[in-house]
Structure 1
Amino acid sequence: MGPNTILQAVRKGLLMSQDDFARALREAGYRAKDPNEATKRLVQRWEAGTTTVPRPLYARALETVTGLPIDALGFTGLVSVERVEDDGAGGHDLMPASSGVASAQVSPRTDTSAVRGQLSGVWLSRYEYFSSGRGATHTESHFVVILQHGPRLAVRSLAGSSDSPLTMDLELDGAVVTGSWTEQTSSEGYYAGARYHGAIQMLVEPTGRRIAGKWVGFGKDFDVNTGPWELIFKDASTSKATMAKYNHRP
C-alpha cells in the first residue's frame, strides 16, 4: 500500500506536527470519555500506509479532530466506527461497511425522541450579527458537516462554502446543544483575517431537521455581542460525493 498523502495533507492543513496531531487525538478521546493512546509513531504508520484502517476509537477521534468523515481521510479500507476486535497494532479486522461512516438518517417525528438519533450529515449554518463599523445587520452562511459520536457533535465548514472557515465543538444533552464556535475570517475580507470565537446554545427541534438558538462572542470594540444562529438539515450522508455536492457557497 502507498502512503496516505490525504491524511498527511489534512494534518498539515491544521498546522499540526505529528506529535501535535497525536496529542489532539488523545485529547479528543478524553473529552468524549473514549480514551485512546495515540502516539507520533501511530500517526507515522497511518501516513506511511503501514496501517490502512484505524481502530474504531481512533476513527472517532480522527473525525473529531479533522472535522471530516473517516472515509475522506485517505484510508484504503472501508471503515466502520462500530467496535470490533482489536488487532493490537493500531488497526483492526472488520466487515466492510456499506458507506464508510455509520451515520443513520434522522427520521422526522413529532416528539423530542428524534434528537436521540444521529445528527451526522450536511447542514446549512446561518447566523446574524450586527456590524458596528458598517451600521447594519449581516447574515453569514456556511455548508457544514456535523459528525456525531454519542453526545458530542463536531462541526466543520466545507472549504468551498466560505472564505472564512467555521468550526464548532458541541455537546448534546436531550434537546439542548451547548458548546463553542470559532471562525477565521478571510484575510481579504472586511475583518482582514481576524479570528473570532465564543459560546453557543441551541435547541434541536422535534423533527431533528433544525437546530436553533443564540451565539455570544466578543466584538472589536471590547464588548460582548449576541445573535441568532440556526443549523438546517440538508443530507444525512457524509460521503465524498455528498460533500462535493455542497462544497460551494450557499
Structure 2
Amino acid sequence: MTTPNSVLRAVRMGMLMSQDDFARAVRDAGSRAGQPNDANKRLVQRWEAGTTASPRPIYARALEAVTGLPIESLGFALTIPLAHVTDDGHGGHDMEPTNGHIAPAAPAAEPRPNGNNYSGVWLSRYEYFSSGRDSSFTGLHYVVLLQHGNRLSARSLPGSSDSPLTMDLEIDSHVATGTWTEQTATDGYYLGARYHGAIQLLVEPTGRRMTGKWVGFGKEFDVNTGPWDLIFQSASTNKATLETYNHRPA
C-alpha cells in the first residue's frame, strides 16, 4: 500500500498552485539551474499519491528551489543515491535518457570557489517606515535557506510569521543579489497586500551574517528602501530543526 504525500500537497496548495502550475515551476527551476527536467501534472500526481516515494536528484533539487524547503521536509522517503525506485515506478539506477541512450543523471552544480555553503536556518530581519503610521517597524522571520551552486532560495517557516516571505538570490563571491516577495497577513495593517522588490547583501567573512538593503514600492506607490540582515542560526535543515525554529522570533 502507498501512503499519500499530504505534506507535498499542502505545500503546493499553500503556494496557491495547481498541479499544472507546480509542474511548470519545477521545469522552470531545472532550466534556470541548467538541469532541465520533464516534470508534468502526472508526475506531480504520482508524488502526491505516494506512488513515487523518492524523486530523482534532478527533481529533488528543482523541488527544493521551488518550495524553498529541503527535500526531507516535503514528505518524501530518503533518496538512495544509486539503485532506487525511479519516477516511472520501476526499479533501477538513477539514470536519465539522452537522445535515446542512457546516461548518468546530471551532476549538481559546482559549489562556489571558496567551498562555502549557506544552507540552513537564518533569522531574517528588515526595517521599514510606515508613512500611514509615521513610525518605523521591524519584520522578523525564520527562513530556510537552500543553496544550489551559486543560487540561494529562502522561504519563511510558516509559524515564524503570518506574512510569508520568500527570497531568490544569486551569490558572487561575498555579494548576494536578488529579489524578495512578502504576502502580508490578511488581518494585518496591509490587509493581505503582496509586496516585492530587490535586495543586495554583503556576506561577512565569518559567513554567519549577511547585511545589506532592500528596495521596493510602498503603500503610497513610492519607492522605499531600508536595512536587511540575515543572521545564521543552524546549518541543519532536518525536520526536528525546522520544528525548533517554527515559531515567532523573539
TM-score by length of 1: 0.86
Q: Cα deviation per residue 1:159-210 (whole Å; 9 max; x = unaligned)?
A: 1111111000111111110110001111111111111100001111111100
In the alignment, what sits opposite 1:129?
128
Between the aligned partners of 1:38 and 1:59, the Cα distance in structure 2 is: 11
Q: Cα deviation per residue 1:78-104 (whole Å; 9 max; x = unaligned)?
A: 136xx757976357658xxxxxxxxxx
Look up the SS of the partner of 1:11 in the other structure: helix
In the alignment, what sits opposite 2:196?
197
Look up the SS of the partner of 1:21 in the other structure: helix
1:80-95 to 2 correspondences below 5 Å: 84=82, 89=87, 93=93
Unaligned runs of 5+ in 1: 95-111
In the alignment, what sits opposite 1:226?
225
Aligned length: 229
Question: How much identity, in percent, do the aligned residues show?
Answer: 68
Between the aligned partners of 1:2 and 1:239, the Cα distance in structure 2 is: 21
Asked whether the 8 Å contact 1:200–1:216 carries over to 2, the reply is: yes
More displaced stretch, 1-10 vs 83-92 = 83-92
In the alignment, what sits opposite 2:107?
none
In the alignment, what sits opposite 1:160?
159
Asked whether the 8 Å contact 1:200–1:214 carries over to 2, the reply is: yes
In the alignment, what sits opposite 1:99?
none
Look up the SS of the partner of 2:142 in the other structure: strand
Between the aligned partners of 1:37 and 1:93, the Cα distance in structure 2 is: 18
Between the aligned partners of 2:205 and 2:176, the Cα distance in structure 1 is: 13
Look up the SS of the partner of 1:124 in the other structure: strand
Between the aligned partners of 1:139 and 1:153, the Cα distance in structure 2 is: 23
Look up the SS of the partner of 2:46 in the other structure: helix
**Structure 2 residue 5 is matched with structure 1 residue 7:** no
Unaligned runs of 5+ in 2: 95-111
Q: Cα deviation per residue 1:197-228 (whole Å; 9 max; x = unaligned)?
A: 00001111111100111100001212111011
In the alignment, what sits opposite 2:79?
79
Q: Which has the higher strand share?
A: 2
Between the aligned partners of 2:86 and 2:21, the Cα distance in structure 1 is: 23
In the alignment, what sits opposite 1:120?
119
In the alignment, what sits opposite 2:56?
55
One-letter code of the match for 2:87?
A
Between the aligned partners of 1:93 and 1:183, the Cα distance in structure 2 is: 40
One-letter code of the match for 2:234?
D
One-letter code of the match for 1:89?
D
Look up the SS of the partner of 1:20 in the other structure: helix
Detail structure 1 runs of 4+ shifted over 4 Å in the superposition.
Answer: 83-88, 90-94
Asked whether the 8 Å contact 1:46–1:52 carries over to 2, the reply is: yes
One-letter code of the match for 2:45?
Q
TM-aligned CA distance change 1:208 to 1:233, over 3 Å: same
One-letter code of the match for 1:52?
A
Asked whether the 8 Å contact 1:123–1:233 carries over to 2, the reply is: yes
Between the aligned partners of 1:205 and 1:90, the Cα distance in structure 2 is: 44
Look up the SS of the partner of 1:242 in the other structure: helix
Between the aligned partners of 1:85 and 1:172, the Cα distance in structure 2 is: 34
Between the aligned partners of 1:242 and 1:90, the Cα distance in structure 2 is: 32
One-letter code of the match for 2:172?
D
Between the aligned partners of 2:86 and 2:43, the Cα distance in structure 1 is: 12
Look up the SS of the partner of 1:89 in the other structure: coil
More displaced stretch, 26-35 vs 210-219 = 26-35
Between the aligned partners of 1:72 and 1:233, the Cα distance in structure 2 is: 20
Between the aligned partners of 2:22 and 2:195, the Cα distance in structure 1 is: 23
Look up the SS of the partner of 1:146 in the other structure: strand
CA apart distance, 1:66:
1.2
